[in-house]
Amino acid sequence: SLPRSSGLLLHITSLPGRYGIGDFGPAAYAFADFLAEAGQRVWQVLPLVPPGYGASPYASPATFALNPYLVSPDKLRDAGLLTDDDLADVPAFPDDHVDFGPVEHYKWDLLRRAHAHFLDGAGLPGYTADDLATFEALHADWLPEYALFAALKEAHGGVAWTDWEPACVRRDPDALAQARKTHADAIRLHTFAQFVADAQWQALWSYCRQRSIRLLGDLPIYVAHDSADVWANQDLFLLNDDGQPTVVAGVPPDYFSETGQRWGNPIYRWDRMKRNGYGWWVQRMARAIKLMDLVRLDPFRGFEAFWQSPGDEDTAVNGEWIEGPGSDLFAMFEKQFGAPLPIIAEDLGIITPGVRAIMAEFDFPGMVVLQFGYDEGPNSEHLPHNYRHAHVAYTGTHDNDTIQGWNNNPEVTVAEAEAKRIRDFACAYLGLPGTDHLHWASIRAVLTSVANLAVFPVQDLLGLGSDTRINRPGSLGGINWAWRLEEGVLTEALAEQLHRMTAVTNRLEGMTALKKVGE
């Protein structure tokens, strides 16, 4: 089980800085310092992968790769791969959100400059040609296919791989060999971008570990159809002859949606995966634990049973539940990586006894979200008096409104009278005369609970409103995944206040006892 500790949720892209997007640079190190000063032992981030449709890190074109836009220009300069002149003319990016289009253009321009300097022989120890060769050898199981996919997608104007020429779609060996020659320069650039991203992340991770801070990251169960993962492993997914999914993932109709949710992700051929020892999944988990201390599997229910619906339908109405790999997959993980596995189960929603049995068998902690408890009332498992030690307790997640935003409007579809009732219940539960300090009281509630790990978004620590939430599920556009933290708001006084609260709830020592897998 997890040691008693606490931490903050803040995605890398949300960090402040002058380059338009949070990155692995100085602001990340400053945030690690704040965590240490505040007595926090966990930093939770969202998937570190390249963003996909709608800038979502949950619809990535590559589950093994890192987001190249997270590469720090300042750290590239420190490594001898950029000059002051390269960083002299930074565009006037907005400070409060990520404007993804201009950021991507600017970051790739810098990466090309850094790569050109690298080819000319620049690069301090850790960033030399020998270091790149070592990196390529260590990641030969995914890197060449990813770099080729990225180069081909770029050459085809960003269209889905199923719209490429048939020989590349079906991965004809001669066509792929020719593509590697034709797009050699682009392949080298994408490989270089992964090399420097990995080096910077590993350095940041090491810095965090020196301060007794562990990194918690997300691993979505499904991958995007338009991804290097599906293109390179078509035999492991339920696809037709044209490469399109015959069935897709989602959830069935329920109280919240008459048509269910059609996620659109292709379904794994779990039978084939089992026959080869779940090799692709073992490879995926191996990559995850080389990047983070703890891995949150989301949604966990899909490993026990998952909802699939026809790929050619617009809704998830006509679907069925299919048995997942269950314990077999996690037994294979234990065989490969040892026990206990550094996994947290995203077990929100309606969870079956079968899911609970798997979690109990492998001692996987589950999740509770205080904000759900306010909505559901006294019997809710999400209220602290019902928590268990084997819980990771949140005030809210990246998919929730902030506590302050929820306070201003608990649920847009709820009538004002019901909203007032919910707010009044929250205040009564927390012993507050009003909602002025609801965010701090909520943080205290999860900290004082028996849950071994308590996590809260930075937005809740700062008492920020709905305009700062990072995701609104079911919506698209610039409002999602774009929020950035204001420079200077994480003050020494705030760290001291949080440290005191963490100390009196006996959460200071926690993660110092947690070893990295393989240690």
pLDDT surpasses 50 at 518: no
Asked which of 91-105, 187-201, 417-431 is least confident by mean pLDDT, the reply is 417-431
According to the model, what pLDDT value does residue 419 have?
83
Residue 104's pLDDT is what? Answer: 97
| pLDDT tens column, 8-34 | 999 999 999 999 999 999 999 999 999
Task: Summarize the confidence of residues 428-445 as an average pLDDT.
Answer: 94
Would you state the pLDDT for residue 412? 54
For the chain, the straight-line distance linking the first and the last C-alpha, in angstroms and rounded, comes to 17
Query: Over the range 33-52, which residues count as b (16 or more CB within 10 Å of their CB) and which as e?
Result: bbbbbbbbbbbbbbbbbbbb
* Confidence tier at 515 by pLDDT (50, 70, 90): low
Say if CB 266 and CB 230 are below 8 A apart.
Answer: yes
pLDDT score for 256: 67
- CA-CA distance, 184 to 178, in Å (whole number)? 10
What is the overall mean pLDDT for the chain? Answer: 94
Please report where in the chains the tokens 């960003």 appear, as a residue: 158
Q: Catalytic one among 104, 218, 226, 298? A: 298
The single residue of 346, 347, 401, 460 carrying the catalytic annotation is 346
In this predicted model, what pLDDT tens digit does every residue of 151-163 receive, in sequence order? 999 999 999 999 9
Is 312 a catalytic site residue?
no
3-state DSSP assignment of residue 192 = helix
DSSP 339: S
pLDDT digits (tens, 9 = 90+) for 44-98: 999 999 999 899 999 999 999 999 999 999 999 999 999 999 999 999 999 999 9
User: Is 399 one of the annotated active-site residues of the chain?
Assistant: yes
Model confidence pLDDT, tens digit, residues 465-483 = 999 999 988 776 667 999 9
pTM: 0.96
Residue 475's pLDDT is 73
- Residue-wise DSSP of 36-69: HHTT--EEE----SPP-GGG-TTS-S-SSS--GG
Residue-wise DSSP of 234-250? GGGB-B-TTS-BSEEEE
Rounded CA-CA distance 510/17 in Å is 30
User: Is pLDDT at 336 greater than 60 in this prediction?
Assistant: yes
Task: Write out 373-405 in H/E/C secondary structure.
Answer: HHHHCCCCCCCHHHCCCCEEEECCCCCCCCHHH
Q: Give dist(CA 154, CA 401) in Å, integer.
A: 36
Task: List the Cα angle 496/502/438 in 5-degree steps.
Answer: 85
* Chain centre to alpha carbon of residue 129: 30
Between CA 244 and CA 52 the distance in angstroms is 18
DSSP secondary structure of 52-117: -GGG-TTS-S-SSS--GGG--HHHHHHTTSS-TTTTS------SSB--HHHHHHHHHHHHHHHHHH
* Phi and psi at residue 380, to the nearest 5°: -70, 140
